[in-house]
């Protein structure tokens, strides 16, 4: 097979070539010496397509109770050491008001797969938020039946984040004892059909993952038509079956962020908390390699440390106002601006 060089691959990316393993792999697996050029190119593509504004999404981690047992996650049901909590609907609405008062145009409601939040309870919360605030609502609460997704959309939810985590059938099966890859894909197709602004993504550095596998993930996300793509390094949690795994790195994730920006010039790509947790400048590095979103935490500090999906998570002791100030300074320090408004996805006509 003919191999594509880094420079040839970058030229294809710049020319907007259809994503293909043949040129994605040389970028995802590029040498350290080539990485700065990859990041600069992605940064230029980002600036030309969507400008310098960074949208802030206020993250509300409203329950760490989960019926699932994903092998990588500290919230998995078999982690008996996790101290569980669930915010009340009133508390969730209150957090949303606080997020709005801090200037956030969007809240992300995220949780474990907690059955207490029935379709109707969740719909009530969405309706209350929509009646009492002007924020856009992103849901990130896992796999549900189509009827639930439909009810929440009708109640006013704007966006949904559901990472595919990996499209490799063997890896997906090994880390998801409760899930089926085809069913997860079906959830994403359903969310798209219902008109949600659609977010998905993967973890970088899962056991067994290769640049070829990651490139197939990128191609699949492209076929799906994902409009928001969240990627972060996998960080092994000591109370999970993957505690001894190597985990992902900042450098590997930066290459992936940059490649995603080249393939999706207009998408919303967050500089994830996991990046900031592995490296104090991880989020800034991601913003300079193609990312345009940050998700500061607005969860009450009383429960924040308990949403421990991986160890060493940042911001667990800092209140919402502190994080708002911190992230604003970080964005300005790299010459970018905080964008205002809901920051809906950009859809081509
Ligand atoms: N329960 C919902 C779900 O699974 O989609 C939302 C919450 S879940 C904690 C959000 C994301 O956290 C997952 O999609 C996964 O990619 C990420 N995550 C979980 N454990 C992680 C780990 N150990 N390292 C990095 N990211 C992790
Ligand atoms: Fe639950 Fe989501 Fe963690 Fe899986 S990734 S255990 S569904 S919170
Ligand atoms: Fe939370 Fe910096 S963003 S302390």
Closest approach atom of ligand 1 to CA 237:
23
Would you state the structure tokens that stand for residue 274, as one six-digit string? 């996991």
The pLDDT value given to residue 10: 97
Q: How far apart are CA 272 and CA 296, in angstroms?
A: 9
Domain carrying residue 278: 51-333
Q: What is the 3-state secondary structure (H, E, C) of 4-22?
A: CCHHHHHHHHHCCCCCCHH
The pLDDT value given to residue 3: 84
68 lines ligand 2 (CB under 6 A): yes
Tokens 């996650």 found at: 73
Residues 6+ apart with CB under 8 A from 218: 19, 24, 256, 259, 260, 263
163 lines ligand 1 (CB under 6 A): yes
Q: What is the pLDDT of residues 1-52, one digit of tens each?
A: 568 999 999 999 999 999 999 999 999 999 999 999 999 999 999 999 999 9
The pLDDT value given to residue 332: 98
74 lines ligand 2 (CB under 6 A): no
Q: How far apart are CA 162 and CA 61, in angstroms?
A: 15
Distances from the Cα of 324 to the Cαs of 104, 190, 218, 297, 340, in angstroms? 9, 34, 31, 9, 13
Tokens 């993967």 found at: 202
Would you state the structure tokens that stand for residue 305, as one six-digit string? 């440390």
Closest approach atom of ligand 3 to CA 296:
3
The pLDDT value given to residue 256: 98
Q: Is residue 29 part of a domain?
A: no
296 lines ligand 3 (CB under 6 A): yes
Q: In total, how many domains does the chain have?
A: 1
Residues in the chain, pLDDT under 70 = 1-2, 348-349
Q: How far apart are CA 46 and CA 72, in angstroms?
A: 31
The answer to pTM > 0.85 is yes
CATH number of 259's domain:
3.20.20.70
Would you state the structure tokens that stand for residue 34, as one six-digit string? 């080539």
Q: Is residue 195 part of a domain?
A: yes
From ligand 3's centre to the CA of 127, what distance in Å? 29
Q: Is residue 189 part of a domain?
A: yes
56 lines ligand 3 (CB under 6 A): no
Least distant ligand from the CA of 68: 2
- By alpha-carbon position, which residue is closest to atom 4 of ligand 2? 70
307 lines ligand 1 (CB under 6 A): no
Q: Is residue 9 part of a domain?
A: no
From ligand 3's centre to the CA of 332, what distance in Å? 14
Which stretches within 74-136 are classed as H helix?
Answer: 89-101, 119-132
The pLDDT value given to residue 348: 67
The pLDDT value given to residue 104: 97
């Amino acid at each position: 097979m003919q191999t594509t060089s880094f420079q040839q691959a970058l030229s294809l990316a710049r020319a907007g070539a259809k994503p293909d393993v043949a040129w994605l792999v040389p970028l995802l697996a590029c040498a350290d010496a080539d990485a700065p050029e990859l990041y600069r190119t992605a940064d230029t593509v980002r600036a030309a397509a969507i400008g310098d504004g960074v949208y802030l999404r206020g993250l509300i981690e409203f329950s760490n109770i989960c019926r699932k047992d994903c092998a990588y996650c500290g919230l998995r049901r078999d982690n008996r050491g996790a101290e569980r909590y669930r915010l009340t609907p009133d508390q969730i609405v209150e957090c949303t008001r606080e997020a709005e008062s801090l200037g956030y145009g969007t809240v992300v409601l995220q949780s474990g797969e907690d059955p207490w939040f029935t379709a109707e309870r969740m719909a009530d919360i969405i309706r209350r938020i929509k009646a009492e605030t002007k924020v856009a609502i992103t849901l990130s609460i896992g796999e549900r039946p189509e009827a639930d997704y439909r009810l929440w959309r009708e109640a006013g939810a704007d966006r949904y984040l559901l990472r595919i985590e990996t499209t490799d059938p063997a890896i997906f099966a090994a880390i998801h004892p409760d899930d089926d890859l085809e069913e997860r894909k079906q959830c994403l197709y359903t969310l798209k059909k219902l008109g949600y602004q659609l977010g998905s993504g993967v973890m970088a550095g899962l056991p067994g993952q290769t640049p070829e596998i990651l490139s197939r993930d990128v191609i699949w996300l492209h076929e799906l038509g994902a409009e928001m793509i969240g990627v972060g390094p996998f960080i092994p949690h000591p109370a999970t079956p993957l505690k001894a795994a190597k985990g992902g790195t900042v450098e590997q994730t930066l290459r992936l962020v940059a490649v995603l920006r080249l393939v999706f010039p207009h998408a919303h790509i967050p500089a994830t908390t996991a990046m900031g947790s592995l490296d104090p400048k991880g989020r800034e590095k991601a913003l300079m390699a193609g990312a345009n979103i940050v998700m500061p935490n607005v969860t009450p500090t009383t429960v924040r440390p308990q949403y421990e999906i991986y160890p060493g998570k940042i911001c667990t002791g800092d209140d919402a106002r502190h994080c708002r100030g911190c992230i604003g300074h970080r964005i300005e320090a790299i010459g970018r601006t905080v964008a205002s408004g809901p920051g809906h996805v950009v859809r081509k006509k």
